[in-house]
Amino acid sequence: MKRSFRACIALALVVFLSWPDASHYFAQGVITNAPWTGTWSTAPAVTPDRGFDNQTIRHIVHTSIGGTAARLGFSNLYGTQPLTIGNVHIARRSRGAAAIAGTDRPVTFGGRSYVTIPAGGAVQSDAVAFAVPALADLAVSFHIPSKTPPNSTGHIDAMQDVYIAPGDVGSDPAFTRGVANAAGARSYYFLTNVDVMNAAATGAVVAFGASITDGVSSAPNTNGRWPNLLAKRLARAGMTVGVLNQGISGNDFFTDGAGEAGLTRFERDVLQQANVKWVIISDDAVNSLISGKPPGFQRFVDAYRQLIRQAKDAKIGVICSTLTPFEGVAEWTPAIERTREDINAFLRDRGSSGCDAVLDQAGALGGRSAFAAAYDSGDNLHPNEAGLRAIAGAVDLGWFAAPPPMNATGAGGRE
């Protein structure tokens, strides 16, 4: 008996749905042609460790937006030899190191379960159909089969527990042999990006800065950094905008050390993010002012104009943050304070600076040469959790209601 074309399709669908694991393809969505957008990132730097050898690392990362598929980025930027990783898994996190049973998905690289990243290189995984929730924790696990040299590519001051277990155990939901905070560190290792497919995403905003952006005064494991709080505000407003944290504690515009100098790393850490549409240039200049040999005002002007020009050439909107106060730290002087005030006046004058918008972090924290007492973490340099909430609350969500005008002819970043 001949069957019609529609009958054949219907029969095929019935067979597909009878597969034990078929339903999750519909529940999670399928991989589409929607552009990739960053939902989480961390900025790479040299990260102290004793090396790894036949161990599995499980990272907990907190998303900003959701999607129907995911891909992961790993870096060996500061490695001195090739790095092999594999048996990578992504899952919804339950609590601690544990993943929610049944949510685990394997991640491949060119169809293979292991990949070798050359020294100085980076790699991006294949797409994996996976329902990524917004504002949720993911468990990303990967095996390192052979000995690595100490001091990896990673991110210190991650403010998040990392779990390390002996052997190849990434597929174990409970991660029962995992130990938190190896060697007392809360650092990310090798993992730098999680991107998602989400057809509704307007784009991503990158928070570019130093320790204030990194959230060093926030409580560990709470996602209390101001970029996390901004992501929460955007989600509550019904806006699908990825928020990517590219802060490095100690980073400044001009010198290498805590990561590469801001002027050097801007191209990689901001402009190459997936579907980036905006950047918030935050607190790198604060560290330049308290470096012991602060540059003069004109050098800061030149630095901001260089970054603004780079961003606009890439069709990315620029939000400039005023510099937060720090009277009370040992390096503060009246002359340095005058330079800070001159920089802030320059940034507020959008006609002169070229900034598309201004996030007034200084005003949000009291508008004086020192923090308002309610916002001081106690070191006169870093805002406390109330201060981080004030910074996030000072962001005008209208800036992200649509891609900035300079993006009308194209999108910045990776796809």
Closest CA to 241 of 395, 39, 406: 39
pLDDT band at 405 (very low <50, low <70, confident <90, very high): low
User: Looking at the domain 202-407, which fold is it?
Assistant: Rossmann fold (3.40.50)
Question: How many CA atoms are closer than 13 Å to the CA of 143, on its beta-carbon side?
Answer: 21
The average pLDDT across 274-299 equals: 96
- The β-bridge relationship of strands 241-247 and 203-209 is parallel
Helix (H, G, I), strand (E, B) or coil at 340: helix
pLDDT of amino acid 403: 67
Query: Rounded to whole angstroms, how far apart are CA atoms 369 and 339?
Result: 11
The residues, any chain, with a CB within 8 Å of residue 188's CB and separated by 6 or more, are 42, 47, 59, 154, 155, 158, 160, 162
Which residue ranges make up each domain of the chain?
41-192, 202-407
pLDDT of amino acid 30: 61
pLDDT of amino acid 73: 98
Q: Are 251 and 218 in contact (CB under 8 A)?
A: no
pLDDT in tens, 358-396: 999 999 999 999 999 999 999 999 999 999 999 999 999
Positive or negative, the CA dihedral 295, 346, 228, 35 is negative
Query: Rounded to whole angstroms, how far apart are CA atoms 75 and 87?
Result: 16
pLDDT band at 8 (very low <50, low <70, confident <90, very high): very low
Q: Are 89 and 170 in contact (CB under 8 A)?
A: yes
Higher pLDDT, 412 or 354: 354
Q: pTM of the prediction? A: 0.90
Question: Virtual CA dihedral for 360, 287, 245, 186, nearest 10 degrees?
Answer: -130
Q: What is the DSSP string of 39-57?
A: EEE---EEE-----SSEEE
CA angle 381, 43, 172 (to 5 degrees): 115
Average pLDDT over the chain reads 90
The residue type of 20 is P
